[in-house]
Structure formats: C-alpha cells, structure tokens
Chain A
Amino acid sequence: MAFLEIRDLHKSFGEVDVLKGIDIAIEEGGFLVLVGPSGCGKSTLLNSIAGLETVTSGEIRIAGRAVNDLHPSQRDIAMVFQSYALYPNMNVAENIAFGLEMRGVAKAEREAAVARVAEMLQIGPLLKRRPGQLSGGQRQRVAMGRALVRDPQVFLFDEPLSNLDAKLRVDMRTEIKKLHQTLATTIVYVTHDQIEAMTLATQIAVLKDGILQQVGTPDQVYSNPANIFVADFMGSPTMNLMPASLQQANGTTSVQIGAVSLPVSEPSEALRSHAGRDIVFGVRPEDVTDLSSADRSARFVETLECGIDVVEPTGADKFVVTRLGEKEVTARVRSSERIAPGDRVPLAFNMDKVHFFDPRTEMRIN
C-alpha cells in the first residue's frame, strides 16, 4: 500500500479552483517531486499535505492514516520553506529545537538531538549564531536541520533551493539527494525547476492549472511525455515541437514537415490511424545530432542536409539552430564540430525517439 496517498483532492479559494481532483500515491522512502509553472497549484498541494491549507474535498493519507482533520503539528511531517522561515529572534540551536520544545521533549534530549543533526549537516560551529548572521547556504542547512531533528514520517520541501545562487544550488541538490539516500524517509518536494525534478525524484508529478498532467519516474516523464505540455516543460533546451502531417504511401508512414519528409519507423496502430491528418511532431535536441554523435544503438536514423542559422557553444556541446519547415529546430552537436552560421551540414535524426501528439487533444499518440 502506498505510504502517502492523495485521493481526488479538490481545493477552491472562493470561485477559483486551484486543485481539480489530484490523485497521487508514493511508496515509503520515495522522493516525489511536484513540478510545474508558477500558479499550477503545486505549492497549494504541498500546503494541503502539511495541513496549512484546508482542502475542499478529497482525502490525504499518511502511512495508512487519514490526516485531513489533523493539525499540522500532529501529522508527523516536517517542512523546509522557500524563505527558510528561521525564527529571527532565536539562535540556530533554538531554531532547531523549537519543534521538540513545543512537543515537551526534555532539555537534555533536545540538546542531544540538536547535536546529532548539527553533526549530520556540519553546522556545529553555527549553533550559537542568529539566522541574520548566516549565509544563504547556511540558512538552508539550518532549515533542513529543523526538519531533520523531528525525524518525521514525511519531509515536505517548498522550493528550498530557489533562493540560492546557481553553484550553491547544485551543491545543495546533491546534498539533499545524499540525505535522502541515507535516511530513506519519504519526501515531497516542490520546484519549478525541471532539472531539480529530474535529478532528485523517484517520482515526478507534473501539474498545470490544478490538473495533474503526468506522474511517473523521471525516465517515463522525460522519454514518454503524456502530452505536449509535459514534453515542452521537461528538458533543457526544450523539445523541438512543430506542426506536421502524417502521410501513408506504399506501406510506409512518414511525417511531412513543410517540404521535408521523414519516414517513421515501426508506426503503431494508433499512429497509423492518424494518417492523412495533422499532428504535432516532437524531437529532443539530443536526438538531432551530427553524424558521428548519432546514437549507435538507434535502429532508425534519418539524415537531412540542414542550413545552420545560429551556433551556441556551451563548452561540453554546441547547440545549433536550423530550420525544418517554418519552425526552428535545435540540435546538439559535438563541441569539436566546426560549424558556422550559414553552413549546410548533414544532421542525424534518431527516429526511435521521436514523439507524436494530437494537435486537438494535445495528448501523446503512442
């Protein structure tokens, strides 16, 4: 049975429906990342799990226990906030111990617990300082310490890294992942950063406008996006998406993009039923490469001669922008490739990894 279970959750603020029937379940020790653009309802969902928001209807169960009617402090959860929410008038040790103090834990025990957490997070030297005297990264650690010390059933993280600079963010991301591997406590984590979602999650839930778009492992969400929104949201640079039409002639199915035609390998029943209709064709930049970088395990690779408009070196790779039909397409090539704007070069399309969507429903065509 799932450890954290959310069933048909609805939340409205007056006339506005913020969550429209959310169903998610996660096993014990799982790392669930709620991801989506701002205003999608992910923070409301997290606050509902915490008990900081009242739900309109639906049920939340933690470890088999319905918690809808429990006060946040009785749900056996701990939370790390975006602003860290450290009590400015207390020092680090007092901040960490406050939750235990409220629960009537004896002083000696509290001190031992604080020492244990301080050791784990390497914040021992900071214990006597006030939050105002700490750097962003240190505050982040203290906020995590405050959650850790409680040893809860579920950790809730609300965009915990969004106030850190880029380098620190990557370090802390690794740290959170390590922590999860050590403690194996169930985590629900909210972010708008899809890279954070990919790197941390065991399960990703993509939300938009209060509706769950897709739940799955990072690989499922990345490789088999359920609809155009998920395809576009996950991945950086984003997936190339363009209007196209599906043609069937002489037993082969091909996708027609402007004047260009690409044959489709092993089209499924569902895809063939779209023959003769408009579709949305999608391919990720890493699946459009220079010939020598083409995936050797791919069974179907199509090569097209393409004119290059823009070249963007990133160091590890180069992203080049070309044109397919009327749409720009980004391709990833080796950084050693000598390509300049205006060149015409052959690019390899990995047809094993292309995506088709119904332009009307925006859903994936399998």
Chain B
Amino acid sequence: MSGGGNDVALRSGAVARAVIYAVLIVFAVYYLLPLFVMLVNSVKPLEEIRSGNMLALPEVFTFAPWVQAWSKAQIGVEPTGLSPYFVNSLVMVIPAVALSTFLGALNGYVLTKWQFRGHRIVFGLMLFSCFIPFQIVLIPMARILGMLGIAGTTWGLVLVHVVYGLGFTTLFFRNYYDAFPSELIRAATIDGAGFFRIFRRILLPSSGPIIVVTVIWQFTNVWNDFLFGASFADFDSQPMTVALNNLVSSSTGVKEYNVHFAGAILAALPTLVVYVVSGRYFVRGLMAGAVKG
C-alpha cells in the first residue's frame, strides 16, 4: 500500500489533472462531511441546531453536550451518561482481543509449520466461520450462555467474541507464518528446540507486525459490534454501541441532537484513535481479511 505510485501514470495535460484533483477533493468532502457535522453540532446548544444551519460553525460554543453524553444522559434506569458503558466495552474488548489473538497465533503456527492430515479442512472450516450470518447462532448461543451461567455478563460476551474472532485471527497468523521460512524451523529442530520453544524463541519474536494487525482488527470488530451486545448483554454489561443506539433512538422527550453527536464521537473515538495512530496496520488488516487463502 505504502509503495510509490506507478512509474507509468496517465500522461495528461493540466486540465485533466485539475479535473482529477477536483474529483478527489469532492470525494474527500463527501467522506469528511458526516464527521464534520458530528463535531460541529456536538458543541452547539440544541436551540442553535434546531433553528440554525447544520453545516455552520457554532455561534455559541459549549461543551455541555459532551458532559451530558458522557455522564448525565438517561440511558438505562439511572441518568449515568455513556461512561459506564464505555467501561463495559473496554472490560469486554481487552480479554476478548488478547485471547483470540493468542489462540490465533498458536493455530496459525500449527496449521503452517506442523501440518497434519486434514489441516486444510480444519482451516477451511475455521475460515468459513468468519462469514456466517450471526443470526444463525443467536438462538442456541442464548441457551448455551444460560446453561454456562454467564448469560448477560461481560464474560459471556468475551466468550462470544473470542469464538467468532478465531477464524480471522487464525487466518491472519496462518498467512503470515506461511511465508515464514521453514528452513528456520528445520534449523531450530536440528538445534534441539521443541514445539513450544520454536514458537516462543523463533516465531513469536518475529511476529510483531501481524500481532499489531490482528489486535487492531479484533479491537475494531469487537468494539464496533452491536448484534451480540444487543442480544446477549444485560443493562449492566451493555457495550457502548448498544448504549449509543438506546440514547439516539429513545423516543421519549426532546431529541438532543448535540448530545447524540457527542455520544457518537465518544463511541467512535477508540477505533478512530487506533486508526489515526496505526492506519498502515489497519489497512493491512483489512486487506488480509479480504484476500483469503
């Protein structure tokens, strides 16, 4: 992705280039517009949104909507704001990402460097699990979580996200380790290192980039999940996305657009920060997830 452009570009005149830049800028505006709308209107008083222009900069600048969204808005029974749900999401995301990444690394290692009869079928079955419509597992999952006694808990959501993240994490590590020279494994075998030692001493120290990609991918997916959160969480374990949706679509009272926008930005902030800080790895993850096999 980061490589320079083709040596051969369209040989085009100044007019053509101006058109190209114009089109690109128009699209940049299209992509930035919703973010701009959210930002600008999250610092306006409600009255100014209702009577004013959504695309205009604020005349009166206020942080009140942010405070409201974070710690005061009525979402559940109590007017707590989004903050407890933000914490719920964090508490759910961290173990889910760590576990699924760890298991994916081990799976990828086995599926490339210790292949056995049928390894392709095992991988194929795991890979297909990335694509299933989750509606197909909702009913039995609700029952199993109940049977395990973790229905409605954060741990229940962690389990769900680990299971349905395994396909992707395994895919990432498998593709990465596939390109890892097998001669290194042979050399280490002759040197006397066993299964775990080869993993810990030879592969893991070289896995930095793919760990970053996997963690970002999993973090984004788990943080942004709505379906599982809406299906399996109780009031006290609801993740951020569910809380935001409740805030925005609650039909009672006045629609506080400015609070909704502030809440939406709060919900988007962690993944946006990850994207800004490590966009390169984020894109690599997207590509790895799109180009299978």
Chain A residue with the shortest CB-CB distance to B181? A83
Q: Which 10 A-B pairs have the closest CB atoms?
A: A89-B205, A73-B192, A102-B192, A99-B191, A85-B183, A85-B187, A81-B183, A72-B190, A85-B184, A83-B183
User: Which residues of chain B from 73 to 99 have any CB-CB distance to chain A below 8 Å in the complex?
Assistant: none
Find chain A residues with CB under 8 A from B193 CB: 73, 98, 102
| Selected contact of A78 from candidates B183, B190, B201, B205, CB within 8 Å | B190
In whole angstroms, how far apart are the Cα atoms of A98 and B202 in the complex?
11
User: Which residues of chain B from 180 to 209 have any CB-CB distance to chain A below 8 Å in the complex?
Assistant: 181, 183-184, 186-193, 197, 201-202, 205-206
- A103 CB–B CB distance under 8 Å: yes
| Min C-beta distance of A136 to chain B, whole Å | 15
In whole angstroms, how far apart are the Cα atoms of A52 and B186 in the complex?
7
Chain A positions within 8 Å of B, measured between CB atoms, are: 47, 50-52, 71-73, 77-79, 81-83, 85-90, 98-99, 102-103, 146
Chain B positions within 8 Å of A, measured between CB atoms, are: 181, 183-184, 186-193, 197, 201-202, 205-206
Main secondary structure of the interface of B (DSSP, over half): helix
| Selected contact of B192 from candidates A50, A52, A103, CB within 8 Å | A103
Question: Are A89 and B186 CB-contacts (below 8 A) given A73-B191, A99-B191, A102-B191?
Answer: no
Report yes or no: B190 in contact with A79, Cβ–Cβ below 8 A: yes
Report yes or no: A85 in contact with B181, Cβ–Cβ below 8 A: yes
| Min C-beta distance of B179 to chain A, whole Å | 13
Report yes or no: A87 in contact with B184, Cβ–Cβ below 8 A: yes
Report yes or no: A87 in contact with B188, Cβ–Cβ below 8 A: yes
Find chain B residues with CB under 8 A from A52 CB: 186, 189-190
Q: A77-B190, A85-B187, A102-B191 are in contact. List 15 more A-B contacts (CB 8 A).
A: A51-B190, A52-B186, A72-B190, A73-B189, A73-B192, A79-B190, A82-B183, A85-B183, A86-B184, A87-B201, A89-B202, A89-B206, A99-B191, A102-B197, A103-B192
In whole angstroms, how far apart are the Cα atoms of A116 and B189 in the complex?
24
In whole angstroms, how far apart are the Cα atoms of A100 and B206 in the complex?
22
Chain B residue with the shortest CB-CB distance to A82? B183
Find chain B residues with CB under 8 A from A146 CB: 187, 191
| Min C-beta distance of B155 to chain A, whole Å | 35
Report yes or no: A99 in contact with B192, Cβ–Cβ below 8 A: yes
